[in-house]
Amino acid sequence: MAGRCCRDAMHGVSTAESPYLHHKNVYVRVGGDLPIHAHYGFHHYAMWGGTSPEYGDLPDSWDTYKKIFLARIQLNVTLN
């Protein structure tokens, strides 16, 4: 099993000014000693905080980060 988690500031790549990016992933490899192995996993991305031209200042507190980390809230979704 392997995983990774990071939090970083994003500048100039979205409609919000200075948002944060949260990314985590987890993978599991199954198969053991068998000649065939399978990898299962997921990625979770969330952009949060910053200043939106439409909504103003977006939440960026430690409490908000905990909710983003646990995928407990959904502020806005844009699919490109």
Q: Cα separation of 51 and 64, whole Å?
A: 15
| Those residues with Cβ within 8 angstroms of residue 2's Cβ, 6 or more apart along the chain or in another chain | 26, 27
**CA 76 to chain CA mean position, Å:** 13
Q: Cα(11)–Cα(50) distance, rounded to whole angstroms?
A: 10
Could you state, in order of their start, the residue ranges of all structural domains in the chain? 2-69
Average pLDDT (13-30) is 79
- Mean residue pLDDT of the chain comes to 75
If residue 73 lies in a helix (H) or strand (E), which one and from where to where? Answer: none
Q: Is the pLDDT of residue 80 over 60?
A: no
Closest CA to 46 of 20, 15, 10, 26: 20
